Amino acid sequence: MADTQKIIIKTPRFIGDTIMMLSAFELLRAHYGDAKFTVVTPPACVDIFRGMGVDIIVDDTKGGNKGRLSKMLRLLGALRRERYDLGFLFHNTFVDALLFRLAKINTVIGYDKESRKFLLDFSLKIDRNRHYINHYAFLVNSYLQNCYQKLPPIRLLAEKSTLIAESSRPRVGFVLGGENKKSRTYPPQLSLRLFELLKTAPIDIILLGDKEDSPNNAKYEEFLSTEYINAQNLSGKTSVGEFIDTIAALDLLVTIDTSAMHIAAATDTPFIALIGKGTSVFETVRPKVDFGHYLRRDALDIDESRSIENITPEEIADKINKVLHVG
């Protein structure tokens, strides 16, 4: 067992990426079993670490330049309150490496990105063909002299949801996106057609998403209410922890390529993912679980940004019925 006592980790910026980092985190916890772990993470990612017994330093330095310098200085002050033995950077910015170095962390480990190699004690070049989960774990395992062979499973700790009621019918959640998800969003006109097809299905519908998804979900809620379908709209009304708990309580999640897909994979919730043109090649972010179902129709479109439109509502409804064994 290594002698390191204090380890600090800088997580990625986004929820989905941070969840995919958890395999790397589990490697560290297995290797340094007696260590004290501190996680530096954005506010949106704090609930990912519920129940894991780690200290949290909230990084609120993103989101505009107003007051950013003072926020950086406060973050640096928080980092310097303890002398850390090891620092793992899973966010690849120059600023992160500089902050860890100024915080006098003994050994700083990260990828060689943004000309920051001189700030790192151990670094690797990035292989963009690697799956995100492997990307984070490979850095850790390389530092540990490749002593591990297998990825630890990714698990999120979920609590009993207080937002959705028990039901004798399957509870199906829908995360179909809003304008900010751009080419990943399932179009509203197709979504309405999907809900029309599902109006006789023996299921409860839960609409989920962030505040940017709320305008579209409000349209779906209005349609579903006129059809007297048992539906609930929680978009923009949940904390990240509540979002995790709700997804964990579902019988099925229908989602676009977003953090909800990774939450489902990490809480053993069956899911159907609608795949369009995403922010990363899908094969590098596809969950490493065997209970996911994927719908993708590239066809021959020159403009890939519209590829998600090739997935028909009929195809989605049929997949829902088959997964749930209803209809």
Please report the pLDDT score of residue 300 as a whole number. 81
Band (64; pLDDT cuts 50, 70, 90): low
Predicted pLDDT at 94: 97
Over range 6-13, report the average pLDDT: 98
Mean pLDDT, rounded, for 236-245: 97
Helices (H), 155-311: 188-197, 214-226, 240-249, 259-266
As a whole number, mean pLDDT of residues 146-168 equals 95
Average pLDDT over residues 34-55: 97
Whether 327 has a pLDDT exceeding 80, the answer reads no
Q: Looking at residues 201-227, what average pLDDT do you find?
A: 94
- The whole-number pLDDT of residue 1 equals 42
Q: State which H helix or E strand residue 140 sits in.
A: helix 132-143
pLDDT value, residue 299:
77
Q: Give the pTM.
A: 0.95
Give the pLDDT of residue 68. 87
Residue 61: how many other CB atoms lie within 10 Å: 20
Task: Give the whole-angstrom CA distance, residue 231 versus residue 209.
Answer: 14
Would you tell me how many other CB atoms lie within 10 Å of the CB of residue 42? 19
Read off the pLDDT band of 122 (50, 70, 90): very high
Q: Where are the domains of the chain?
A: 6-143, 171-324
Average pLDDT over residues 226-245: 92
At 319 the pLDDT is 98
Say what the pLDDT of residue 228 is.
Answer: 72
Average the pLDDT over each of 3-7, 18-22, 264-268 and give the range with the smallest value. Answer: 3-7
Q: Lowest-confidence range among 135-139, 161-165, 182-186, 301-305? A: 301-305
Write down the CATH superfamily of domain 171-324: Glycogen Phosphorylase B; (3.40.50.2000)
Secondary structure (3-state) at 220: helix
> If you average pLDDT over every residue of the chain, what do you get?
95
Q: What's the CA gap between 12 and 44, in Å, rounded?
A: 11
User: pLDDT tier at 3 (50, 70, 90 boundaries)?
Assistant: low
Name the CATH topology of 6-143.
Rossmann fold (3.40.50)
Looking at residue 139, what is its pLDDT?
98
Mean pLDDT on 71-85: 96
